[in-house]
Amino acid sequence: MWKSLAVYLLLAPLALAAPAPFLAKKEQPKKVLTIKPGNYIMTWRGVESQAHFHSMGFFSCHWQGRWWNGQWIVENEILKVVEHPLDEPQTFSKWSVKLTSPTSGELLNGSSEWLLKPMK
């Protein structure tokens, strides 16, 4: 019995000094850039416009006197929009933005700054 007590007294401090696996720092997941659905003032090619990004992927924008409707999605931190003017539904256009934050980025097909400001 004394031998097992002596072994216990020798091993107990070593066991307490060992790092506990459950206390190890967990790696933080990488934040993926995306935009939040909502109503914004969007600056696109230097022009401010009302823009609406719906949570179900619907997009609407009033740009230079015309309403544009379409769809939006963010894939791999790239915002992709397919749209058409409301008065010409047969005419489509596409544009993409490489996001640098949830409210800014760079147009991929036009090399221009792109910004969003929440509408009040």
Contact 14, 89 (CB under 8 A): no
**Quick one: DSSP state of residue 33?**
P
pLDDT at 2: 61
E strand map for the chain? 38-44, 47-53, 58-63, 66-75, 78-85, 93-101, 104-107, 113-118
Evaluate whether residue 6 is within a structural domain.
no
**Quick one: DSSP state of residue 109?**
T
Facing residues of 106 across strands?
98, 113
Evaluate whether residue 119 is within a structural domain.
yes
pLDDT at 17: 60
Evaluate whether residue 108 is within a structural domain.
yes
pLDDT at 85: 94
Scanning the structure block, which residue is given the tokens 């000094």? 17
Evaluate whether residue 85 is within a structural domain.
no
Q: Which domain holds residue 70?
A: 42-76+98-120
Evaluate whether residue 19 is within a structural domain.
no
pLDDT at 1: 64
pLDDT at 120: 79
Evaluate whether residue 51 is within a structural domain.
yes
Evaluate whether residue 67 is within a structural domain.
yes
Evaluate whether residue 92 is within a structural domain.
no
pLDDT at 52: 97
- What residues of the chain score a pLDDT lower than 70? 1-24
Please state the domain count of the chain.
1
pLDDT at 23: 62
* Cα distances (angstroms) measured from residue 13 to each of 2, 21, 73: 18, 17, 56
Q: What is the token pair recorded at 46?
A: 């230097």
Distance separating alpha carbons of residues 59 and 36, to the nearest angstrom: 12
pLDDT at 112: 79
pTM: 0.72
